[in-house]
A and B are shown apart, each in its own frame.
Chain A
Amino acid sequence: MRASCFRVIQRNLACLGVGVLALVPGVALAQGAAGPPAGAPPEGQTVEVSTVRAELDRLKQEFELLRLDYGLRLAELERRLAALGGGPLVVPAPPAPSAATPATVPEPPADEPVPTPPAPQAAQARNSAFNPDTSVVANFLGAAGHNPLSDAPSFQLTEAELSFRSVVDPYARADVYLAASPEGIEIEEGFLTFTSLPGNWLVKMGKMRAQFGKVNTLHTHAMPTADRPLVTENLVGGEEGISDSGVSVSRLLPNSLLFLEATGEVFAGSSTVFETDRRSRLNYVGRLRGYRDLTEGSNIDVGGSVAWGPTGGGEDLNRRLIGVDATFRYRPLRRAIYQRFQARTELIWSRQDLPAAPPARAFGFYALAEYQFARRWYIGSRVDRSQRALDAASRDSGGSLFLSFWPSEFSQLRGQYRLTRYAEGRRAHEILFQLSFGIGAHGAHVF
């Protein structure tokens, strides 16, 4: 099948070549005249040249015949048009759109500019019309102060995230995020979303951040702080979190009281939190989220999440995480660009099987409040407390104060003072500095 296709294409290419030759005999001849052989050509070549010339002459004659034929036909057509009363041959103007010509419109001013035609770059724009929305978001982190348990350097470009987003076809869209960091480049997320399924279903397939609580779903640059809370570091895999390849299915549960969304996800079990040793042992995540507007400017958002799956190391050991999160937001609509308040807490319980011992249980939470007090300024604080996943007796705690400045929507500077009291009795006082910026297509605002 494919071979025959190629043959057809080849045959047609040959025809095309002949056609082009026939159409440009002048050029071919001119080239021949312009490049006479420098010396006497060998015998064989002379014969070939004369054959080619004869062939050319024949094609030239055919072309002349064609030209005459078309000339006659064109003249005939013009004569018929004239007979119909059409006058000289003029391309008719396209009809004005009926929508734009209402029954009663006041006279437009004489100097009214005509809608601008597409710019000369339009052709180029058409070519790139299907390119995905592309952007790069970089995150630069500085740290000062003494922390014996942190290996963060004084300055580091921790991540440059490349993202590509586009509609794939009438049924789906794709989002791909590549994260380049000092450790290398990796697929942070890359998934297809089926947007047009019946019955309020939404299905995602690919690699993605699991819908476990709030912090786990956020990319680093979208966090309100320069770091992630202690509970995330201790119990939910830190920076990477639960991010894995799998399928996510969610559904709206319509009712008259509130927005209710149920999500169920299945992952391969290859994240920093879950680790599988065989295909049949997978990581499952479930989430129920409720949301309700309190007034036009305030709302409450609550959720419960559960994640369970293998911890690796054989022996069918499992890990289970349960999370509860609540967010209150206030943003008066008339002053939406100047003032905003958000309070959020997440509580997480972890239970991890241990070989030949009772399961290790741990609990942790954070509470965060953030207030926008001017168009470009935010201030906030966070309280942290968390046991360690495998050692409930070890409890870390801490607190942070942070101040963020947004020169524009596309860059932000943040300073954060962080105090951490480690279970070992050590204290760390640190100043964190963060700069993040985005270039390229405008992404969606985080809600």
Chain B
Amino acid sequence: MYSGADVMHRLKGVLMRNRVVLVLGTAAVMAAAMPRAPLAAGAATINIVATTEDLASLAREVGGDKVTVDAIAKGYQDPHFVEAKPSFILKFSRADLLLVVGRELELGWLPSLINNSRNGKIQVGASGYLDASANVKILEIPTGQITRAMGDVHPSGNPHYWLDPANGRIMAADIRDRLTQLDRANQAYYAQRYDDFDKRLAAAERRWDALMAPHHAAKIVTYHRSWPNFADRFRLDVIGYVEPKPGVPPSPSHTLDLIEEMKHLDVKVIIIEPYFDSKTPNQIAGQTGAEVLTLAPSVGGQPGTDDYIKLFDYNVKLVADTLTRAGK
């Protein structure tokens, strides 16, 4: 017969010796007891996670009710500096398709979300990973040697390419093709949704072109290098930036130089994003008589910019109206 204390002592000994088994056993029980991850819950629809609201809007245009779409960065948030929150890891873990802007825009936060997603479908190179920059027109690809003395330069070109509707069309087509690849049964549906979007976008482009036609080659200043594709598409001439170098905050000497340049060239428009401090742009505007326009850099960046076409409706109208007032 063993005494109670003896039994406890022996039990303790067994437990001490078998901790590996214990840990693995607990893990196995945990795995078995937990309800299955809700990956299969919405099997009828494709679960899309997009890093920005623009990609999300294009995915909704093409995917319609066959997809559910979540965006990570808000339209009024600087997409370079998004935090890799664990709540985003949850979204990533459930995704069937991940849409990214690419060109190093999401470099500081996307890799850790993908790594921790525990989702093989959306790893770089997998069929559920789509870099929307693959076929679009990219500007400002550096040709010579680049160093960080030039500020936040992107070695593979300017990542703000979605601000040209022609690129938006290409991105939508890429999304259509990938959705078709993942869901052959709905090929005709995606094709029809894309064609419809393509027609509406083309009609909208004629509207925007008509609004911008009188302002050909109008000179503007922007805060950051976010607008080269927008300026290229609507024939605006960006003559300078509030930032001395990309990602470097305004300096007094650069601001003075910019004021002189704007006075010399009679520039009347300064474009900024909602996530930048408007203090310096307002000072410059005060000295030069220019107007500061807070545009929507992405879908949802300003009230009323709920989708990709409304984004340009808002921005183009604001720029055209301001240039008209300024007589440019």
The complex places the Cα of A264 from the Cα of B115 at a distance, in Å, of: 18
Return the contact of B135 from the options A97, A171, A292, A301 (Cβ within 8 A): A97
Q: Is B285 an interface residue when CB atoms closer than 8 A count as contact? A: no
Which residues of B from 96 to 142 have beta carbons under 8 Å from A? 104, 107-109, 111-112, 114-120, 123-126, 135, 137-138, 141
Q: Is the CB of A337 within 8 A of B81?
A: yes
Q: List the count of A-B residue pairs having beta carbons below 8 Å apart.
A: 165
Residues of B within 8 A of A100 (CB): 135, 170, 173
Q: Is the CB of A301 within 8 A of B86?
A: yes
Q: Is B322 an interface residue when CB atoms closer than 8 A count as contact? A: no
The complex places the Cα of A34 from the Cα of B242 at a distance, in Å, of: 67
The complex places the Cα of A262 from the Cα of B120 at a distance, in Å, of: 20
Residues of A within 8 A of B78 (CB): 336-337
The stretch of B27-35, B43-51, B182-190, B259-267 that contacts the partner chain:
B27-35
Digit string of A99-117 for contact with B (CB within 8 Å is 1, else 0)?
1101111101100100110
Q: Is the CB of A119 within 8 A of B74?
A: no
Q: Is B90 an interface residue when CB atoms closer than 8 A count as contact? A: yes
| Interface residues contributed by chain A, number (CB under 8 Å) | 66
Q: Is A31 an interface residue when CB atoms closer than 8 A count as contact? A: no
Q: Is the CB of A296 within 8 A of B247?
A: no
Q: Is A45 an interface residue when CB atoms closer than 8 A count as contact? A: no
Q: Is the CB of A197 within 8 A of B118?
A: yes
Distance to closest chain B CB from A217 (angstroms): 13
The complex places the Cα of A252 from the Cα of B87 at a distance, in Å, of: 11
State whether A264 and B135 are in contact (beta carbons under 8 Å apart), knowing that A103-B195, A195-B123, A196-B120 are contacts in the complex. no
Residues of B within 8 A of A408 (CB): 148, 247-248
Distance to closest chain A CB from B98 (angstroms): 13
Residues of B within 8 A of A351 (CB): none
The stretch of A224-232, A237-245, A439-447 that contacts the partner chain:
A439-447
Residues of A within 8 A of B104 (CB): 442
Q: Is the CB of A447 within 8 A of B83?
A: yes
Q: Is B199 an interface residue when CB atoms closer than 8 A count as contact? A: yes
Distance to closest chain B CB from A351 (angstroms): 15
State whether A442 and B170 are in contact (beta carbons under 8 Å apart), knowing that A170-B123, A195-B118, A200-B118 are contacts in the complex. no
The complex places the Cα of A22 from the Cα of B241 at a distance, in Å, of: 63
Residues of A within 8 A of B114 (CB): 195
Nearest B residue to A98 via CB reads B173
Residues of A within 8 A of B195 (CB): 103
Q: Is B317 an interface residue when CB atoms closer than 8 A count as contact? A: no
State whether A254 and B34 are in contact (beta carbons under 8 Å apart), knowing that A201-B118, A299-B85, A409-B247 are contacts in the complex. yes
State whether A333 and B74 are in contact (beta carbons under 8 Å apart), knowing that A197-B118, A442-B108 are contacts in the complex. yes
Q: Is A375 an interface residue when CB atoms closer than 8 A count as contact? A: yes
Digit string of B73-94 for contact with A (CB within 8 Å is 1, else 0)?
0101110011111110110010
Q: Is the CB of A99 within 8 A of B277?
A: no
Residues of B within 8 A of A344 (CB): none
Which residues of B from 9 to 58 have beta carbons under 8 Å from A? 17, 19-20, 23, 26-27, 30-31, 34-35, 37-38
Q: Is A202 an interface residue when CB atoms closer than 8 A count as contact? A: yes
The complex places the Cα of A105 from the Cα of B206 at a distance, in Å, of: 10
Q: Is the CB of B205 within 8 A of A106?
A: yes
Q: Is the CB of B202 within 8 A of A104?
A: yes
Residues of A within 8 A of B328 (CB): none
Residues of B within 8 A of A249 (CB): 27
Q: Is the CB of B23 within 8 A of A264?
A: yes
Q: Is B177 an interface residue when CB atoms closer than 8 A count as contact? A: yes
State whether A105 and B166 are in contact (beta carbons under 8 Å apart), knowing that A409-B247, A445-B84 are contacts in the complex. yes
Q: Is A259 an interface residue when CB atoms closer than 8 A count as contact? A: yes
Q: Is B321 an interface residue when CB atoms closer than 8 A count as contact? A: no
Q: Is B3 an interface residue when CB atoms closer than 8 A count as contact? A: no
Q: Is B174 an interface residue when CB atoms closer than 8 A count as contact? A: yes
Max chain B CB contacts within 10 Å: which of A105, A254, A286? A254
The complex places the Cα of A1 from the Cα of B305 at a distance, in Å, of: 68
Q: Is the CB of B20 within 8 A of A282?
A: yes
Q: Is B257 an interface residue when CB atoms closer than 8 A count as contact? A: no
Residues of A within 8 A of B115 (CB): 173, 193, 195
Residues of B within 8 A of A252 (CB): 37, 89-90, 93, 118
The complex places the Cα of A293 from the Cα of B88 at a distance, in Å, of: 10
Digit string of A284-311 for contact with B (CB within 8 Å is 1, else 0)?
1010010111001001010000000000
Q: Is B235 an interface residue when CB atoms closer than 8 A count as contact? A: yes
The complex places the Cα of A197 from the Cα of B76 at a distance, in Å, of: 35
Q: Is A319 an interface residue when CB atoms closer than 8 A count as contact? A: no
Having A376-B249, A409-B247, one finds 20 other A-B pairs with CB under 8 Å, namely A100-B135, A116-B143, A167-B124, A170-B120, A173-B115, A196-B120, A201-B31, A201-B118, A251-B34, A252-B118, A254-B37, A254-B38, A299-B87, A333-B76, A337-B81, A337-B275, A408-B247, A410-B148, A445-B81, A447-B112
Could you give 23 example pairs across A and B, Cβ below 8 Å? Answer: A100-B170, A102-B202, A105-B169, A112-B232, A116-B138, A170-B123, A195-B123, A196-B119, A251-B118, A252-B90, A254-B93, A259-B86, A262-B30, A264-B26, A296-B74, A334-B275, A336-B77, A337-B275, A409-B108, A444-B108, A445-B84, A445-B108, A447-B83
Chain A residues with CB under 8 Å of chain B are: 97-100, 102-106, 108-109, 112, 115-116, 119, 167, 170-171, 173, 193, 195-202, 249, 251-254, 259, 261-262, 264, 266, 280, 282, 284, 286, 289, 291-293, 296, 299, 301, 331, 333-338, 375-376, 408-410, 439, 442, 444-445, 447
